[in-house]
């Protein structure tokens, strides 16, 4: 019986020009989005590789230079773009792609792609994930809104009942038919996946296959939730027209407005600091208490001097077997690192509180939960960026320490006049970034997964009970 | 049934029908939220620029006081050999928040609007320190009044009015209604007028509140009013266009469900698919140079200049033997820094120019194809009149770079010879002034979009009226 309903529904969909048109447009957009996104990710990966190569060449060939001068020039860490970003670029365009690893200072990532975007890109970005998040639910609504209501309006529901169809069979028949049609959007997903796989990934995301499966499963659950909700509403209201308006209204709120409104509320409740204020705080708290002329700074430097003299068992700095300037520079780094940790924790904390506030709104918008899951699995979310930024910072500390140690050990009495050469630069390591593991990622998005599953479960219940309810009503009428 | 009876019935329905009431109240809340949030945004921007200028001026004043002290003999040159150091000349450069940045944030949240001009910094680092804003916030976009008007308003108009005629037809009472001395055209237009009026009143109230609440000390109501008038005209044209589109869809006398689907489809193409496709096309056809390659270029130039600083210095002195100083008391590294920075500026200039050219090409492309999506057209016109458009920000950045070049040329001799600036020389240096478009230029640039929206509204309105006229005949035919 389910099969018969399924075939009847599919036939009806095929005859409906509106559905064919919407499907065709969405599919075309999806394929265009996949190609556009693929080309963009390929460019980013190519540019990153070229930038890494140039950075190394410049570093290796900088000639004779004091290690501390070199530490000011330093190197850059370039954020990798995962191949799965072809499917969902997430926050990639909104986060800086390069971090300067200079001495004395922890810099935020710079060079955001959004700065080169045209104004209207702020409306919407043509990516496969966006197409599926926005258009797939709309297609599901279009397919299912009239499912039960129109049967009732036309008086065919009674006929269906009299032929022995159970509510469950009707629900499954209509639900599966709608899902089959939405699944036709799969070519755009497949195109994105094929292009992802064909994109050379210079840094392999751990468990990429499982991530891909997770993405596909999440979208399937999301679309199923909208389909069930559409059937449920269709079964509860008296007219298909009312179902359509209610569902399109819900779609607009859940998919378009709520993600934007929730973020706006989140950033009002937990605002990120202003750039100038942040930069000033970072400089003043990391530098002045160490290098400044305050009593605190002078006492700190005197203490360091006393400690190092005691450690080497000498009375004056001149008697030290090491270069004291280099030693003091490294001590200043150690002091500043604690300050950077605190200030950056506050910054990331503000972002993460925003993300938590936004997550609360996923109770009314499954799109928020799906967006979080999708970008996290694609390695393009906030946590991926933080992981990269923190790893780069660890590398910066090691790298600056390496340069300071060169000055401490080799600088002797020359101090700032000591010059290292290309032989030394060429021995210095590169930043070798390892992205977070899948379990790290899942630990950040498990709540979103639960919320998405809850949405699907509630929508299923709404649909199933709705169909049963409409059977009862029809029987009583 | 008279016109006034229909009108009263519609007003009553708006007040009592729960769905309509919820929709209207939600719209009111969205408008007010956008206005309040927008005003807070603009005040914050204004505070930020004011604080920035004040802080910069404070340190500049300290610097100038030292120069004054040397100039009037209170301090000897030997006591403060750094006073008046030409290399330390520094000026703040600010693009004030756009006159209506509260109503339409545009790109003002992602592009810099302050810069500290310093000869120690190469042009690629003039606006470096502004990227700590939340990526979540930036990615989601702003919930400003422009967003509410472009996205929410048409949907509300559709939801309130798609069944203005179909309901009567589907309930089988159209014939009965038309047996009264009233035409189909008048019936539909009266209903739509009442429903649209509710939205228009809310918008007008929100705009009036926005005009007042977004005003700041630097941009009061009178300064905002001319730009506001243009913004209001754009909003009105967009509203009229949607009113005409909806009237036209209703005049097709389709089933209510089909009318709703048709209008939702138009909304999606106009507000989502259209702008997304347009921006993707513009960015694919005219890709910007690589930011990472630009960074590498700047670093390479800086490193090469550092390595060959002696050659650069020799070259400079060969070209300008008059700049040779015998008693150079200022450390060598200052001259080196000046020359290295200048070399970097020259090296990256072609890439920066290319960035500007690409944006100009994209602008040219969109200036034609934006008409394919009235929502994209409206957004660009909104941003333009609000002073938050990309072009204004790019112009600001370019002018700051040019200003730096000008100051560098003015003080070059002093830096290279190691000669301090005199107070007169310093006071005669130009100050940064951001050249804004005049209101005439804004009118000129927004006239075409407004005219286009009004033409679409007129055309569709005329067709709708004709359709409704024909409908009358068809319905009353036996």
Closest residue of chain B to A53, computed from CA coordinates: B296
Q: Check residue A155 and give its pLDDT.
A: 83
β-strands B90-94, B114-118: how paired?
antiparallel
Closest among B94, B92, B96 to B57, alpha carbons compared = B92
pTM assigned to the model = 0.90
B140 min Cα distance to partner chain A (Å): 5
Select the residue of B51, B52, B303 nearest A62 (Cβ to Cβ): B303
Q: Do A376 and A89 contact (CB within 8 A), yes or no?
A: no
3-class SS of residue B165: coil
In chain A, what's the furthest Cα-to-Cα distance?
A: 104
The pLDDT assigned to B133 comes to 84
Give the dihedral sign, CA A271/A274/A278/A284: negative
- Give the number of domains in chain A: 1
Shortest alpha-carbon distance between residue A36 and chain B (Å): 7
Enclosing H/E stretch for A406 = helix A382-410
Q: What gap in Å lies between CA B462 and CA A357, rounded to an integer?
A: 48
pLDDT along chain A (477 residues), means of 10: 84 84 86 88 90 94 90 93 90 92 92 89 86 91 86 83 87 90 82 72 80 93 94 89 86 92 92 85 87 88 93 90 93 94 95 95 96 95 95 97 94 88 94 94 96 96 92 82
Q: What is the pLDDT of residue B325?
A: 56
Tell me, what's the pLDDT at A195?
76
Per-residue confidence (pLDDT) for residue A387, from 0 to 100: 96
Note the Cα B474 to chain centre separation in Å: 49
pLDDT of residue A466: 92
Are the Cβ atoms of A25 and B131 closer than 8 angstroms?
Answer: no
Please enumerate in sequence order all residues whose Cβ is within 8 A of that of A458, keeping only pairs 6 or more positions apart, or say none.
none
Instruction: Compute CA distances B226 → B31, B64, B123, B203, B240, whole Å.
Output: 22, 39, 35, 18, 21
How confident is chain B (478 residues) per 10-residue block, as mean pLDDT? 81 82 90 94 91 90 91 82 87 93 93 89 77 87 93 92 82 74 86 93 95 81 92 97 96 85 90 92 92 89 79 68 59 82 90 94 95 96 96 94 94 85 91 91 96 98 92 69
| Length of chain B (residues) | 478
- Asked if B237 and B453 touch (Cβ cutoff 8 Å), the reply is yes
Q: State the Cα–Cα distance between residues B65 and B71, nearest whole angstrom.
A: 10
Q: Look at residue B478 in the predicted model and tell me its pLDDT.
A: 54
Looking at this predicted complex, what is its ipTM? Answer: 0.87
In whole angstroms, what is the distance from residue A81 CA to residue A46 CA? 10
| Domain locations along chain B | 3-476
Q: What is the pLDDT of residue B125?
A: 82
Whether residue A267 and residue B299 make contact (CB cut-off 8 A), yes or no, is no
Confidence (pLDDT) at B405: 93
Test B257 with A241 for CB contact under 8 angstroms: yes
Q: Domain range holding A234?
A: 2-476
Cβ <8 Å between A124 and B370: no
3-class DSSP assignment, residue B114: strand
Contacts of A256 in chain B (CB under 8 A): 151, 272
d(CA B255, CA A255): 26
CB contact (8 A) between residue A123 and residue B375? yes
SS3 B179: coil
Q: Note the pLDDT of residue B304.
A: 84
């Amino acid at each position: 019986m389910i099969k018969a309903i399924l075939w009847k529904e599919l036939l009806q969909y095929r005859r409906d020009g509106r559905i064919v048109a919407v499907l065709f447009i969405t599919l075309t957009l999806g394929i265009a989005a996949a190609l556009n996104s693929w080309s963009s990710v390929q460019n980013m990966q190519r540019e990153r590789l070229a930038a890494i190569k140039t950075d190394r060449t410049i570093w290796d060939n900088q000639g004779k230079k004091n290690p501390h001068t070199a530490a000011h020039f330093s190197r850059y860490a370039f954020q990798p773009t995962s191949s799965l970003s072809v499917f969902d670029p997430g926050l990639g365009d909104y986060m800086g792609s390069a971090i300067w690893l200079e001495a004395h200072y922890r810099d935020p990532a710079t060079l955001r792609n959004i700065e080169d975007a045209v104004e209207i890109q702020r409306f919407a970005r043509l990516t496969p994930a966006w197409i599926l998040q926005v258009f797939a639910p709309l297609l599901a609504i279009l397919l299912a809104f009239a499912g039960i209501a129109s049967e009732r309006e036309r008086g065919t529901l009674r006929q269906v009942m009299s032929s022995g169809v159970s509510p469950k069979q009707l629900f499954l028949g209509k639900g599966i038919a709608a899902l089959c049609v939405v699944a036709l959007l799969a070519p755009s997903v497949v195109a994105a996946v094929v292009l992802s796989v064909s994109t050379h990934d210079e840094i392999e995301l751990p468990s990429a296959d499982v991530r891909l499966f997770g993405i596909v499963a999440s979208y399937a659950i999301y679309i199923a939730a909208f389909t069930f909700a559409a059937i449920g509403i269709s079964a509860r209201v008296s007219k298909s027209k009312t179902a359509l308006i209610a569902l399109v209204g819900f779609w607009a709120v859940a998919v378009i407005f709520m993600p934007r409104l929730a973020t706006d509320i989140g950033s009002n409740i937990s605002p990120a600091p202003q750039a100038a204020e942040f930069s000033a705080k970072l400089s003043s708290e990391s530098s002045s208490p160490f290098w400044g002329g305050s009593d605190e700074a002078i006492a700190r430097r005197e203490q360091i001097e006393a400690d190092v003299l005691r450690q080497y068992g000498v009375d004056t700095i001149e008697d030290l077997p090491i270069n004291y300037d280099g030693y003091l520079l490294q001590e200043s780094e150690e002091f500043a690192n604690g300050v950077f940790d605190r200030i950056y924790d506050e910054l990331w904390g503000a972002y993460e509180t925003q993300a938590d506030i936004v997550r609360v709104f996923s109770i009314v918008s499954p799109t928020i939960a799906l967006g979080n899951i999708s970008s996290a699995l694609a390695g393009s979310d906030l946590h991926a960026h933080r992981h990269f930024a923190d790893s780069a910072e660890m590398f910066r500390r090691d790298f600056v320490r390496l340069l300071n140690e060169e000055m401490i050990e080799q600088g002797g009495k020359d101090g700032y006049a000591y010059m290292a050469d290309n032989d030394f630069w060429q021995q210095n390591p590169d930043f070798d970034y390892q992205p977070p593991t899948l379990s790290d990622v899942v630990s950040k998005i498990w709540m979103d997964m639960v919320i998405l599953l809850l949405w699907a479960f509630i929508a299923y219940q709404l649909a199933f009970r709705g169909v049963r309810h409409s059977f009862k009503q029809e029987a009583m009428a | 049934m008279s016109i006034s009876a229909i009108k009263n019935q519609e007003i009553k329905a708006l007040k009592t029908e729960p769905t309509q009431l919820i929709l209207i109240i939600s719209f009111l809340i969205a408008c007010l939220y956008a206005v309040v949030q927008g005003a807070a945004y603009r005040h914050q921007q204004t505070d930020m620029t004011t604080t920035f200028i004040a802080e910069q001026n404070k340190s500049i004043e300290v610097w100038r006081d030292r120069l004054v002290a040397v100039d009037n003999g209170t301090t000897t040159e030997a006591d403060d050999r750094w006073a008046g150091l030409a290399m330390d000349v520094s000026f703040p450069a600010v693009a004030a928040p756009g006159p209506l940045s509260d109503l339409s944030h545009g790109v003002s949240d992602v592009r810099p609007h302050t810069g500290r001009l310093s000869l120690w910094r190469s042009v690629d680092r003039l606006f470096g320190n502004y990227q700590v804003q939340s990526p979540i916030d930036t990615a989601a976009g702003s919930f400003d009044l422009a967003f509410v008007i472009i996205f929410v308003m048409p949907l509300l108009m559709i939801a309130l009015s798609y069944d203005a005629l179909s309901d009567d037809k589907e309930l089988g009472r159209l014939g009965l209604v038309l047996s009264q001395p009233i035409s189909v055209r008048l019936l539909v237009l009266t209903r739509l007028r009442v429903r649209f009026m509710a939205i228009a009143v809310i918008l007008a109230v929100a705009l009036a509140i926005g005009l007042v609440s977004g005003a700041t000390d630097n941009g009061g109501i009178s300064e905002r009013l001319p730009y506001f008038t243009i913004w209001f005209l754009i909003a009105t044209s967009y509203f009229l266009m949607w009113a005409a589109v909806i009237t036209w869809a209703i005049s097709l006398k389709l089933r209510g469900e089909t009318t709703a689907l048709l209008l939702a489809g138009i909304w999606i193409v106009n507000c989502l698919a259209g702008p997304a496709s347009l921006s993707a096309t513009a960015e694919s056809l005219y890709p910007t140079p690589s930011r990472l390659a630009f960074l590498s270029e700047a670093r390479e130039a800086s490193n090469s200049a550092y390595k060959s600083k002696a050659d650069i210095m020799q070259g400079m002195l060969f070209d300008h033997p008059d700049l040779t100083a015998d008693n150079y008391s200022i450390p060598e590294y200052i001259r080196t820094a000046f020359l290295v920075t200048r070399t970097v500026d020259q090296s990256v200039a072609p890439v920066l120019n290319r960035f500007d050219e690409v944006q100009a090409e994209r602008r040219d492309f969109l200036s034609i194809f934006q008409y394919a999506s009235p929502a994209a057209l409206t957004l660009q016109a909104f941003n333009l009149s609000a002073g938050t458009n990309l072009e204004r920000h790019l112009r600001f950045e370019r002018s700051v770079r040019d200003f730096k070049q000008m100051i560098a040329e003015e003080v070059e001799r002093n830096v290279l010879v190691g000669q301090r600036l005199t107070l007169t020389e310093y006071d005669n240096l130009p100050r940064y002034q951001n050249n804004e478009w005049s209101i005439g230029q804004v009118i000129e640039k927004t006239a075409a979009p407004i005219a286009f929206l009004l033409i679409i509204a007129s055309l569709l309105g005329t067709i709708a009226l004709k359709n409704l006229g024909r409908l009358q005949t068809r319905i009353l035919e036996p």
